Amino acid sequence: MSLPNATHHFLFGTAACVLLVACLPAGGKVDSASTDRSSTVDSSRATVAAASVDATVDRQNYGESPLLRDKVAQGTLPPLSERLPDNPLVVNPITRPGRYGGTIQRAVTADIIDRKAVSKTFNDNLMAFERPLNKDYVLNLAESFEYEGDGHAIVFKLRKGTRWSDGHPFTVDDILFWYEDIALDENARNDPLFPSRWLNAGRPVKLEKIDDWTLRISSHKPLGSIFSTLCYDERALPKHYFSPYHPRYNASVTYEALGRRISRAQLEYHPGTPKLSAWAPVKWVRGQKALFARNPYYWKIDTAGNQLPYADFLEFAVIPNSDVILLKFLNGELDIVGRYIKSDMF
């Protein structure tokens, strides 16, 4: 099943923007000047503005995919009003709201080595880069922030009521689980070195839980680059799901086993892994394909009140030859192509 009335003659890189825009943040804008201050930060300059839902659309009448509406009717899924956060992120469509249904067909040359091509599609962090030109930072999982003092600390408010794709609440505990139990634990993290983006003048920044929905990030130096850091790879892990694999929480497991379970490929592809992104993994045939189904608890809507994303499924086929990828795209077997295209192919 492909995208309804999908057009296969997009201009390479722009195709991704057109088809995936519904899942990209376009909410509040942060004044970039406020993030580049190396000494005193003027919080009055860090202004945000957000898109809003048409005032005539009642929350109880928000739209959702027929696929999910059927599950609600069958009693296997809560109503949409109970699945969205108190303040969902509103995304401005490029032209008009889309239509539900279909599968976005994509390709990678390898599912393990080329994992980054997949992870970029699913990245959702507290902040995000403005689309399509990345000139600024916008709110994402965070609905607001506030500087403390001279910029040595920033308090972020999460979107209360946000849930992982399995329906479990997303809270500050999930961020701290990734940071304190994985990143700061040299036995647990995937890399031998602590992630450099979370270093400020050579020291790890400090993360503190104020309450379930409030996170304080502080440092001995002004946090001039923290917004950029908070735009990159998803920096939260569902504690309820992964703590049983961690020796700190389960004495019967080992760090070696934890490392295998939280490898980058396993985090990306393992069916059933809870996600905050638009789609979550449901099937992985190594070396052949990876299938992702829509996240029923996704926390973004369009200006008409329709829960995003529009496509029900996203599938990545493993095609080692980039020439074959191009051929399949031209034949209408793929909906998006870009990173593998070279000028000498024409």
Place of tokens 């990143």: 183
pLDDT of residue 11: 31
If we measure between CA atoms, which residue out of 276, 303, 292 comes closest to residue 85?
276
If we measure between CA atoms, which residue out of 290, 308, 292 comes closest to residue 300?
308
Model pLDDT for residues 178-196, shown as the tens digit of each residue: 999 999 999 999 888 999 9
Domains and CATH numbers, the chain: 13-341 (3.40.190.10)
Q: Which of 98-107, 130-139, 333-342 ranks highest by mean pLDDT?
A: 98-107
Task: Indicate the pTM of the whole model.
Answer: 0.85
DSSP state of 170: P
| Confidence band for 68, pLDDT divided at 50, 70 and 90 | very high
pLDDT of residue 2: 47
Q: In terms of residues, how long is the chain?
A: 346
For 144-148, 151-155, 229-233, 328-332, which range has the lowest pLDDT when averaged over its residues? 229-233
Listed in sequence order, the DSSP H helices in the chain are 13-20, 66-74, 80-83, 115-122, 172-176, 226-229, 239-242, 255-261, 264-269, 322-330
B/e letters for 144-179, b = 16+ CB within 10 Å, e = fewer, are: ebebeeebbbbbbbbbbbbbbbbeebbbbbbbbbbb
Rounded Cα gap, residues 86 and 173, in angstroms? 19
